[in-house]
A = this chain, B = another copy of it.
Amino acid sequence: MARPRNAAIDGKVLAAAAEELRRGGYEGLSVDRVAERAGVAKTTLYRRWASKAELVVALITTLREDVPFEPSDDPRRDLTELVTAIAANLAATPPSLVADLAAAAARDPRVGEAVRALWAGRHQAVTAVVAKAQEAGLVLDHVAPAVLVDQLAGPLYYRLLVTGEPLTPDYARTLIDSVLGPEEPR
Contacts and interface: CB of A to CB of B under 8 A. Distances in A.
Interface in A136-178: 140, 142-144, 147-148, 150-151, 153-159, 161-164, 171, 174-175, 177-178
Interface residues of A, number: 43
B27 A162 contact: no
A120 to B, nearest CB: 10
A164 B116 contact: yes
What's the number of copies of this chain in the assembled complex?
2
A5 B182 CA distance: 59
A88 interface: no
Interface in A70-120: 94-96, 98-100, 102-103, 105-107, 112, 116, 119
Contacts of A174: 143-144, 147
